[in-house]
Amino acid sequence: MTTLAVLSFAGAYFSLIIAAAVLLRDRESFVHRVVAAGMLLFAAEEIFRGISSGAVLPEDVIYWQKRVIAASALLPGVWLAFSLSYARAGVRSFLSKWKWLLLLTFASIPFVVIFRKCLFVGSIVLRDAG
């Protein structure tokens, strides 16, 4: 296992621990659920990256890198929702004022889904690491 894979899986492990700790503290809080969702997305991104670094075939690397990009496309919206709702009273009414910006941050998701075959184009070149 490469150093990159070990670091990716370690990052995913600690992200999952943080998500679990936040949810165990208070499941009812909107802010805690958003933080947990963000940490779960970080974990998914790093798991996909770790699997990608261990893939042998170039097609498998591209497959897992597309998953990394899909998970990354969700991150800005989740963390914007967190930053808008942290330490505020009346979170729902405040977020309703920002709903268009929140929707705009999630606008990259349809592009990732629709144009997923165009994310990586061209020939695959394998380089020797040494």
Q: What is the mean pLDDT of each run of 10 residues along the chain (130 residues)?
A: 91 97 91 95 96 88 88 91 84 83 84 75 58
Asked whether residue 127 is assigned to any structural domain, the reply reads no
Asked whether residue 19 is assigned to any structural domain, the reply reads yes
If one counts the domains in the chain, the total is 1
Asked whether residue 59 is assigned to any structural domain, the reply reads yes
Residues in the chain: 130
Is 35 buried (19+), middle (13-18) or exposed (0-12) by CB count in 10 A?
Answer: buried
Asked whether residue 123 is assigned to any structural domain, the reply reads no
- pLDDT at 117 (0 to 100): 72
Could you tell me the CA-to-CA distances from 25 to 11, 18, 28, 32 in Å, in that order? 21, 11, 9, 8
- pLDDT at 55 (0 to 100): 87
- pLDDT at 15 (0 to 100): 97
Asked whether residue 130 is assigned to any structural domain, the reply reads no
- pLDDT at 104 (0 to 100): 87
Q: What are the contacts of 11-17 at 24+ separation with CB within 8 A?
A: 11/42, 11/43, 11/46, 12/42, 12/43, 12/44, 12/46, 12/47, 12/50, 13/43, 15/39, 15/40, 15/42, 15/43, 15/46, 16/40, 16/43
Task: Read off φ and ψ for residue 26, nearest 5 degrees.
Answer: -160, 105
Domain of residue 54 covers 3-118
- pLDDT at 123 (0 to 100): 57
